[in-house]
Amino acid sequence: MVQNGLSALDAVRGFQGLRALVVGDAMLDSYVDGVATRLCKEGPVPVLVKAAEHHAPGGAANVAVNLRALGAEVVFVGLLGRDRTGEELRAALRERQVDDRWLIEDSGCATIRKLRILADDQYVVRVDEGETRTCGELGRRRMLEAIEAAFPRCDLVVVPDYGYGVASEEVIDCLRRLRSGRRVALAVDAKDLRRFASAGATVVTPNYAEVCAAIGEATAGALPSADPARAERGGRRLLELIDAEFAAVTLAGDGVVLVDRAGRATHLPAHPVLHAGDVGAGDSFTAAMALALASGTEAVQAARIGIDAAGIAVTQRRTSAVRHQDLLRRVSLDVSAPTTPVKTLAAILDSERYAGKTIVFTNGVFDIVHAGHVQILQRAKQLGDILVVGVNSDASVRRLKGQARPINHERDRLALVAALDAVDHAVLFDEDTPASLIRALRPHIHVKGGDYAEAALPEAEAVHAVGGQVVILPLVGSLSTTSVIERIVALASAGDRRGAL
């Protein structure tokens, strides 16, 4: 999946180091777990014996946590009361490496909390408390000052507006003014999108109900089923009413319909999930799509990346964040993502070389990736700036290892290697040795792991021909793919013998 020269994998890699400004309603999500033992005598409700209680950042705070977990630096501007809930939210943010110094405390506010009580993992009731719409003039002025101070060093802005007063008209006007001089990506996820009609957002990410409310089609009864065709019509109508480049209408299990200002629409299906949770997946979608847009990818691919993040989030229990490594792994396993052509990769590396970066190359089969592989790749990356890994094709592996190998398809082996933190580029090669690939990519350093002598390496001549050097890294421990396979076979055989007895 490569569009505008940037693959999904490269886009997600680009999340790290981006600086995100989040302006929105900070909340604390609290969960009380227990066991229902009997019915209460005072009324037909269960008596809950409390087993555990935990807290997680919610609302805009969860968006901030997702952005941080995906690799971005985060400035989070929101409102808190001077209360215990605010202290617990600050602690939960710091635990997740989100700086809480930009949060504004105001004595007129009470920190928002959503308390969910569960019996035997089933929801019993949700209790909402807190109010920040009562913030005083001083608190609002301090919030605007924080936005003004943070904006110049940010690469994107995300506004998760739940209607509790942080995204005031003054804040929207402030962001519009700041972006008129520096056009960074702006993602808006708002309960009432009509308030952002002139915000000039890059993307708005409403669900179908929010679209209906914005275009005046909400009814007191149940909404029409949120099928892609209705979402497409609603998205077009929405963009006629508000100033935004794209509307990404989320449809839960039916995916996302992305509509642009020209009326073009794309339906992007969701990943099927057997048991899906529904707390925070929208936050993960908005965070990942906003980062993808800021990293330079086009909107359809950014929406796909957002869906990948949401697909991970719904498999997790309760309010949680999607980690950068997990999203890297998900997008790298997209079967439609081809390997980067060698000529394209060579051109990319020429640019890195011109910028003064040291290019390190290594290669292998990587049939069953184990700790020894990871250690070698980490040590190889430490020798330079850019690590390129050549992965033997299936045909090459069969010639080298026999017809029983590889165990895993070349596409899966390539995707797994590409998803490792130390690896910047992974590329397939079909020859028995990487000599031709080395001549094309011209690395400064060629790394080999094991007990090789440089003179015995068939590709050493190619390394020297391009002006590179060979570095032999001794293996740590005795792990090898062959030994792992032999152990699996031995264990399976032992199990068969026990079954026969």
Tokens standing for residue 415: 């995707």
Is the sign of the CA dihedral 144, 145, 150, 152 positive or negative? Answer: positive
Fold assignment, 342-485: Rossmann fold (3.40.50)
Tokens standing for residue 56: 């997680």
Question: Which pLDDT tens digit goes with each residue over 330-355?
Answer: 887 654 444 678 888 898 899 889 88
- Distance, in Å, from the CA atom of 143 to the CA atom of 21, rounded to the nearest integer, reads 13
Bridge pairing between strands 156-161 and 185-190: parallel
pLDDT at residue 185, as a whole number: 95
pLDDT at residue 284, as a whole number: 93
pLDDT at residue 492, as a whole number: 55
Angle CA(203)–CA(207)–CA(211) in degrees, nearest 5?
80
- Cβ distance 389 to 364 under 8 Å? yes
Find, among 315, 266, 324, the residue nearest to 292 by Cα: 324
pLDDT at residue 501, as a whole number: 47
Find, among 288, 298, 364, the residue nearest to 323 by Cα: 288
Question: Which pLDDT tens digit goes with each residue over 133-160?
Answer: 999 999 999 999 999 999 999 999 999 9
User: What one-letter code names the amino acid at 215?
Assistant: I
pLDDT at residue 481, as a whole number: 52
Chain centroid to CA 207: how far?
20
- Cβ distance 88 to 55 under 8 Å? yes
- Distance, in Å, from the CA atom of 219 to the CA atom of 204, rounded to the nearest integer, reads 22
Q: Measured between alpha carbons, how far is residue 485 from residues 221, 377, 413, 489, 495 in Å?
A: 60, 21, 16, 6, 15
Mention the CATH class of domain 13-331. Answer: alpha beta
Return left, alpha or beta for 339; rule: phi > 0 is left, psi -120 to 50 is alpha, else beta.
beta
Q: Is the pLDDT of residue 486 over 90?
A: no
Q: Is the pLDDT of residue 291 over 90?
A: yes
Q: For residue 472, what are the β-bridge partners?
A: 448
Burial of 469 (0-12, 13-18, 19+ CB in 10 A): middle
- Sequence-distant (6+) residues with CB within 8 A of 86 are 80, 103, 105, 111
Find, among 214, 207, 205, 232, the residue nearest to 290 by Cα: 205
Mean pLDDT of 209-237: 78
Question: Which pLDDT tens digit goes with each residue over 35-74?
Answer: 888 888 888 888 888 888 889 999 999 999 999 999 999 9
Question: Which pLDDT tens digit goes with each residue over 309-325?
Answer: 998 988 887 777 899 98
Q: Is the pLDDT of residue 9 over 90?
A: no
- From the candidates 283, 308, 367, 424, give the one annotated as an active-site residue: 283
Could you list the beta-strand ranges (E) of 251-351: 256-260, 265-268
1 confidence band (pLDDT: 50, 70, 90): very low
| N- to C-terminal Cα separation, the chain | 52
Tokens standing for residue 247: 């509307």
pLDDT at residue 474, as a whole number: 81
Q: Where in the chain is the domain with CATH 3.40.50.620?
A: 342-485
- Distance, in Å, from the CA atom of 396 to the CA atom of 433, rounded to the nearest integer, reads 9
DSSP state of 386: E
Mean pLDDT of 270-295: 80
Q: Where in the chain is the domain with CATH 3.40.1190.20?
A: 13-331
Q: Is the pLDDT of residue 292 over 60?
A: yes
Chain centroid to CA 196: how far?
26
Is the sign of the CA dihedral 339, 341, 342, 345 positive or negative? Answer: negative
Q: Is the peptide bond before 406 cis (omega within 30 degrees of 0)?
A: yes
281 confidence band (pLDDT: 50, 70, 90): confident
Farthest CA pair distance, the chain: 86
Q: Would residue 283 show up in a list of annotated catalytic residues for this protein?
A: yes
